[in-house]
Amino acid sequence: MSIQQRMTPSLLIERGSLLLGFLLFAIFLLSPAYFVFKGSFENISVSLVASDGGWTLDNYVKVFSSGYFTYVVNSLVVCVTATVLGCTVALFAAYGLSRFRFRGRSLVFGSILGGQFFPWIILVNPIFILFARGGLINSHIGLILCYTAFITPFTIYLLVGYLTTVPRSLDEAAIVDGASRFTVIRLIILPVIWPGMVAAATFGFLQCWSEYLLALALITDDSMKTIPLGLYQYFGDVQIDWGAVMAGSVVATLPTLLLFLPLQKKLVAGLTSGAVK
């Protein structure tokens, strides 16, 4: 008997309901992106409820003529550098926390977890004063240091969960063969937990990419601004240029899609492997 013949009416209704639910949920998630993309090619009124009709590239011309491409490059430089640094520090820290037992280990790991619950907004003033004295205002280095510290705690927490699933016998076998700890991490541990690294890097990059408050406090020079600060210039005191905002939002989304769509399979594997092992 074929599968179609064994399908009962109740099973068909159940599967149809699930499919309909998934479709409605997908429409709910994708509809804002559709309206932003559509609005970026329209002459939208200030009230955002009407347009002059027709399609136009004026919004994109306005965005790029105002130096928006510089903001994209700045964001890429800052976010990629901070993500690489944060993931590198987190990898070595997570390896030490998962492989070695030492006095104060629980306190160290608890302090790292506590960083996730700390309200970063109250640190804006101290960070600004510290960086102003150190000459790091209007500097990508200062922003990179902040973002690295911002994403490292969660990355350590995530990687510790993956490293605990990797048998220590792999490390011991490599060390017996004469490999150093650095070689073990680079040639054995990293390839094994690579999906977890991709997942951690994705979350860290997206957090940096959309961060606004620290960038607003530390960057005032137009040539150094990142995408969130660049978008804010289209929000005037009297009116908002919604066409430019939507065009800028589309441009801001493209780099993340181009970077992480090729890594989609590894990202999904990284999100699920910790629960399976």
The answer to whether residue 3 scores a pLDDT higher than 50 is no
Predicted local distance difference test score (pLDDT) of residue 50: 55
Pick 63-276's CATH classification: 3.40.50.300, 1.10.3720.10, 3.10.520.10, 3.40.50.1370: 1.10.3720.10
Predicted local distance difference test score (pLDDT) of residue 199: 83
Q: Which of 65, 71, 68 is nearest to 224 (CA)?
A: 71
Query: CB neighbours (10 Å) of residue 130?
Result: 12
Q: Are 197 and 87 in contact (CB under 8 A)?
A: yes
Place 89 in a pLDDT band, splitting at 50, 70 and 90. very high
The answer to whether residue 88 scores a pLDDT higher than 90 is yes
Predicted local distance difference test score (pLDDT) of residue 108: 83
The answer to whether residue 1 scores a pLDDT higher than 60 is no
Predicted local distance difference test score (pLDDT) of residue 255: 79
The answer to whether residue 182 scores a pLDDT higher than 80 is yes
Q: Are 94 and 159 in contact (CB under 8 A)?
A: yes
Predicted local distance difference test score (pLDDT) of residue 246: 87
Tens-place pLDDT, residues 191-236: 888 888 888 888 889 889 988 888 998 998 888 999 999 888 888 7
Q: Percent of the chain beyond pLDDT 70?
A: 87
Phi first, then psi: give them for residue 266, nearest 5 degrees: -70, -35
More confident residue, 239 or 130: 130
Tens-place pLDDT, residues 112-140: 777 777 777 788 888 999 999 988 899 89
Give the C-alpha distances (Å, rounded to integers) separating 153 from 26, 123, 125: 32, 16, 21
Among the residue ranges 5-14, 66-75, 105-114, 260-269, the one predicted with the least confidence is 260-269
Query: In angstroms, how far is CA 203 from the centroid of its own chain?
Result: 4
Predicted local distance difference test score (pLDDT) of residue 263: 65
Place 75 in a pLDDT band, splitting at 50, 70 and 90. very high
More confident residue, 131 or 100: 131
**C-alpha dihedral over 154, 160, 163, 169, to 10 degrees?**
160
Query: In angstroms, how far is CA 247 from the centroid of its own chain?
Result: 21
Instruction: Quote the pTM value.
Output: 0.81
Tens-place pLDDT, residues 25-56: 888 888 888 888 888 888 775 555 555 556 77
More confident residue, 229 or 242: 229
Predicted local distance difference test score (pLDDT) of residue 269: 53
As a 3-state breakdown, the chain gives helix, strand, coil percent values, each rounded to 5, of: 75, 0, 20
Place 144 in a pLDDT band, splitting at 50, 70 and 90. very high
Domain boundaries defined on the chain: 3-39, 63-276
Please state, rounded to an integer, the average pLDDT across all residues of the chain. Answer: 81
